[in-house]
Amino acid sequence: MSLAITTARPESALLDLPWSTPLEDWPESVLAALPRGISRHVVRFVRLGSRVLAVKEIKSELADREYVMLRNLRRLDVPSVEPFGVVHGRVAADGTPLDSCLVTRHLQYSLPYRALYSQSLRPDTAVRLMDALALLLVRLHLEGFWWGDVSLSNTLFRRDAGAFAAYLVDAETGELHQHLSDGQRQHDLDIAQVNIAGELMDLEAGGFLEEQADPFEVASSVIERYHSLWEALTGTQRFEAGDRWRVDERIRQLNELGFDVDELSITTDIGGTQIQITPKVVDAGHHSRRLLRLTGLDVGENQARRLLNDLDAYAAATDRQGDDEEIVAHEWLAKVYEPVTRAVPRELTGRLEPAEIFHEVLEHRWYLSERAGHDMPIEEALADYVATVLPGKPIEKSVVGVDTVEMPVIAWDD
């Protein structure tokens, strides 16, 4: 057999990796020390030039299937890891055939749930983590994706303006359909509830779960949050024809959840007294797309919402509300956002991504202003934040020396 590499982008450096060695035996010289979640397969992070890639050893047909599935999810703009390539035809030095490998890009600033819980996650932070997973599942279902293995272990989390954004990691069992039935969605929810409860019981047994937290109640909260989001996004509303302002209200509510309405189905009754509105196509990213259009900044949805709020405040403070918003956004970018993010010392730039740092500086300014009893200049807030807060943050761009696989795990019967 000969080595065969399929990749979306030509990368000759892939040939330099030790493909003839079982993945679990790869030398440390090619590995990147990043936190790993729990997986049924062997997974390793490797450095390839300036990139960090995740390599998963898996059966040939499963590697091909997951590679195609992840590419389809990326085309649908679903939060998921980016597929990089598939490697077939691996043979050990003694001639023994080796499993294929699926290669994906490491998602910078992301962490598996076990790494987050190892940092003594506060109860309110844990709630935001579960909210992020519920929102991810809603987005997947809206696109017709049946996951088949919903779990915290198959998800990565990135901080997003104080909240979290969740990303699908493992699409091995997933299926894409034009539309999911209620039964398919409920099947995913049943899987999610069992898996999440089991994962949290593992954390509880290892002393990493907050004492008052009940694994089953937390798992149930994810399902409840899912149903609330699903109803808000797909539920039908009826109201009198004279209350057509509620159409705009409904759209604003969807936007606040981070979704846009691509199409509305508006039908009238025979008597013409009522209108029924059903959002038919919804897509996440309202705020992030607007910010990208105005500034070129590609950030998380909550981060985008916070940055846009600051942009709007800047427009009001400078009496520019009536001006072209793209011009005002360019000025805000040059005079407010970039001076803050560029002022971070080089040795601290890996702590958090720039948009999250800007969000935290705004939060810090608010606390300082409240304590002082008057508005605090952002320059002073930035200096205090860099001196007192940022150095204590973990390096989330590439957290070194934390291997969550080594955290105690309890084996639960199926």
pLDDT: which is higher, 225 or 251? 225
**Do 149 and 178 reside in the same domain of the chain?**
yes
**Do 291 and 383 reside in the same domain of the chain?**
yes
* Residue-level pLDDT at 191: 97
**Do 56 and 71 reside in the same domain of the chain?**
yes
* Residue-level pLDDT at 281: 55
Q: Residue 119 maps to which CATH number?
A: 1.10.510.10
Q: Is 2 exposed, middle or buried (0-12, 13-18, 19+ CB in 10 A)?
A: exposed
pLDDT: which is higher, 17 or 397? 17
pLDDT: which is higher, 15 or 91? 91
pLDDT at 262 over 70: no
User: Which of 11-25, 74-88, 173-187, 258-272 has the lowest average pLDDT?
Assistant: 258-272
**Do 200 and 304 reside in the same domain of the chain?**
no
**Do 124 and 161 reside in the same domain of the chain?**
yes
Query: What is the Cα–Cα distance from 335 to 269, expressed in whole angstroms?
Result: 54
| Strand bridging mode 155-160 / 163-168 | antiparallel
Q: How many domains does the chain divide into? A: 4
**Do 224 and 255 reside in the same domain of the chain?**
no
Whether 202 is covered by a domain: the verdict is yes
Query: What is the Cα–Cα distance from 348 to 233, expressed in whole angstroms?
Result: 40
Closest C-alpha among 16, 202, 168 to residue 79: 168
pLDDT at 104 over 90: yes
pLDDT, mean over the chain: 84
* Residue-level pLDDT at 384: 94
**Do 30 and 143 reside in the same domain of the chain?**
no
Whether 411 is covered by a domain: the verdict is no
Residue 280's pLDDT band, with cuts at 50, 70 and 90, is low
Whether 280 is covered by a domain: the verdict is yes
**Do 323 and 268 reside in the same domain of the chain?**
no
pLDDT: which is higher, 115 or 174? 174
User: Which of 23-37, 215-229, 353-367 has the lowest average pLDDT?
Assistant: 23-37
pTM score of the predicted model = 0.72
Query: What is the Cα–Cα distance from 379 to 173, expressed in whole angstroms?
Result: 50
* Residue-level pLDDT at 227: 94
Over the stretch 4-35, which tens digit does the pLDDT of each residue have?
988 877 777 888 899 999 999 999 888 887 76
Which residue's structure tokens are 């030398």? 27
pLDDT at 239 over 90: no
* Residue-level pLDDT at 86: 95
**Do 176 and 280 reside in the same domain of the chain?**
no
**Do 258 and 228 reside in the same domain of the chain?**
no
pLDDT: which is higher, 355 or 258? 355
**Do 128 and 179 reside in the same domain of the chain?**
yes
The answer to whether 166 touches 155, Cβ cutoff 8 Å, is yes
Q: Which pairs from 243-249 meet CB under 8 Å and 24+ separation?
A: 244/275, 247/275, 247/277
* Residue-level pLDDT at 372: 86
Q: Residue 102 maps to which CATH number?
A: 3.30.200
* Residue-level pLDDT at 165: 86
Most confident of 157-161, 235-239, 287-291: 287-291
Whether 209 is covered by a domain: the verdict is yes
How far out from the chain centre does Cα 357 lie?
17
pLDDT at 412 over 70: no
Which residue's structure tokens are 């500034």? 295
Residue 399's pLDDT band, with cuts at 50, 70 and 90, is very low
Query: What is the Cα–Cα distance from 65 to 58, expressed in whole angstroms?
Result: 11
Closest C-alpha among 411, 409, 403, 413 to residue 115: 403
Whether 174 is covered by a domain: the verdict is yes
Percent of the chain with pLDDT over 90: 43
Query: What is the Cα–Cα distance from 361 to 113, expressed in whole angstroms?
Result: 25
* Residue-level pLDDT at 358: 94
Whether 401 is covered by a domain: the verdict is no
Residue 256's pLDDT band, with cuts at 50, 70 and 90, is confident
**Do 31 and 136 reside in the same domain of the chain?**
no
Residue 409's pLDDT band, with cuts at 50, 70 and 90, is very low
* Domain boundaries, position 155: 111-234
Whether 18 is covered by a domain: the verdict is no
How far out from the chain centre does Cα 339 lie?
27
Query: What is the Cα–Cα distance from 108 to 165, expressed in whole angstroms?
Result: 13
Beta bridge partners of 247: none
Query: Span 219-233, mean pLDDT?
Result: 91
Whether 404 is covered by a domain: the verdict is no
Taking each helix axis from N to C end, the angle separating 182-205 and 215-234, rounded to the nearest 10 degrees, works out to 150
**Which of 234, 249, 275 finishes a domain?**
234
pLDDT at 413 over 50: no
Over the stretch 317-352, which tens digit does the pLDDT of each residue have?
888 877 888 899 999 999 999 999 999 998 888 888
Over the stretch 123-182, which tens digit does the pLDDT of each residue have?
767 788 888 899 899 999 999 999 999 999 999 998 877 778 899 999 999 999 999 999
The answer to whether 252 touches 160, Cβ cutoff 8 Å, is no
